[in-house]
Amino acid sequence: MDGFLFAAIAFTGIAAGLVAYEVVCAWCGAKSPSAVALSPSSSEAPASSPRSAAKSSFVTIAQRLSVAVNTFAPMTRDEAGSTRDALRRAGMGVEPETWRAVVAVMIGASAALCFAACVLFAVPSVWSIALTVGAAAFGHWAAGRYVAFRQNDRRRSIEACLPDAMELLAVALAAGSPIEQCFREVSASLKGPISEELRLVDQEVNLLGHSRTEALEHFAQRCASQEVSVFVGQITQAIDQGSSVSEGLAAQALLAREQAQAMALERIRKMPTKLDIVLSACFLPPTVILVLVPTVVKLLTFLSGGMV
């Protein structure tokens, strides 16, 4: 039994280390300083730091784990495409195979932690198996919920910055700049996911050779937002019909701001009702207990004294 517990704890430690490494790399990958280029006069490359060597070794371990999982259960093309689209909408720059390896690690870590807890507290075998399977299912569900949370958070961030982007695009187009240059300028002026998406639109048109319509459709597919789809449809229709894009964007930005204000006012109006529910749940049970318990105690005391 001690051997099983030691193996479960060791596997859990390794799995937790890999998950922590993936999280740290995903968080500080965009903040890592770029590599310093060698000068022409230098004949030798600088010695790699211990941190970079350790990072490269961890990357190698993660790649090997991804290859092992893919070898055991290869992904189909449709599954890889759907996973890549979901990760792209969530703003996670990882490959589908790597993400599936991370999910496998999360499932294994959840199952190992549950199994170690069952062994530690001497849970019966049937319940241990059931709880371990449930913990593995919870790990898979938690990974899916994490991606969904990232998607919703990114979508809300894009929708919040979309009116500003439309106004800046309208101003740049009214100044006579080409629409591709307008996307580049607006992406440089904004921050967050909306800046990344507009930069991708500019790169698809100027570097990959896609048409404006295709790049904008890809933008709408990546965001999976109704407001972004309306924005893309407005620009596409204006380009196809040759009408004024700047005026349409200005009107659409004004409408988007009015809708955002209306939604904010609606949330404010709903807040007292939600607060009433919270206050009732917090104060009603203690009040009932404080009022009823002494009364019930006195009544029982009176009845017991009368019966005696």
- Tell me which amino acid residue 113 is: L
Cα atoms found within 13 Å of the Cα of residue 91, Cβ hemisphere only: 21
Record the tokens describing residue 293, joined without a space: 């318990």
Q: What is the DSSP letter of 40?
A: T
Condensed to tens digits (0 to 9), the pLDDT of residues 80-117 reads 788 888 888 888 777 787 788 788 888 888 888 888 88
| Residue at 289 is within a domain | no
Condensed to tens digits (0 to 9), the pLDDT of residues 211-239 reads 888 888 888 888 878 888 888 887 777 77
Long-range contacts of 298-303 (CB under 8 A, 24+ apart): none
| Secondary structure (DSSP) of 232-252 | HHHHHHHHHHT--HHHHHHHH
Residues of the chain with pLDDT under 70: 1-73, 241-244, 305-308
* 129 and 207 fall within a common domain: no
Q: What is the domain-level CATH number for residue 251? A: 1.20.81
The pLDDT score that the predictor gives to residue 57 is 56
Domain closes at, from 126, 152, 178: 152
If DSSP codes are grouped into helix, strand and coil, which group holds residue 121? Answer: coil
| Residue at 62 is within a domain | yes
* 133 and 202 fall within a common domain: no
* 105 and 190 fall within a common domain: no
Nearest Cα residue to 18 out of 87, 92, 103:
103
Count: domains in the chain: 2
Q: How far apart are CA 56 and CA 59, in angstroms?
A: 5
* 26 and 135 fall within a common domain: yes
Residue 135 vs residues 131, 179, 204: alpha-carbon distances, Å:
6, 51, 43
Q: Taking the CA atoms of the chain, what radius of gyration do you get in angstroms?
A: 29
The pLDDT score that the predictor gives to residue 29 is 47
If DSSP codes are grouped into helix, strand and coil, which group holds residue 172? Answer: helix
Query: Is the separation of the CB atoms in 227 and 256 below 8 Å?
Result: yes
* 146 and 161 fall within a common domain: no
| Residue at 305 is within a domain | no
* 163 and 25 fall within a common domain: no
| Residue at 266 is within a domain | no
* 94 and 176 fall within a common domain: no
* 138 and 196 fall within a common domain: no
Q: How far apart are CA 252 and CA 162, in angstroms?
A: 10
* 77 and 207 fall within a common domain: no
The pLDDT score that the predictor gives to residue 211 is 81
The pLDDT score that the predictor gives to residue 5 is 52
Domain that holds residue 11: 3-30+58-152
The pLDDT score that the predictor gives to residue 161 is 84
- Tracing tokens 């990344």 back to the chain, one arrives at 196
* 183 and 102 fall within a common domain: no
| Residue at 40 is within a domain | no
| Residue at 211 is within a domain | yes
Q: What is the DSSP letter of 32?
A: S
* 139 and 175 fall within a common domain: no
Record the tokens describing residue 247, joined without a space: 């005026």
The pLDDT score that the predictor gives to residue 193 is 84
Query: Is the separation of the CB atoms in 186 and 168 below 8 Å?
Result: yes
Domain closes at, from 131, 152, 173: 152
| Residue at 279 is within a domain | no
* 73 and 209 fall within a common domain: no
Apex 149 CA angle, 145 and 151, nearest 5: 115
| Residue at 197 is within a domain | yes
Domain closes at, from 152, 176, 204: 152
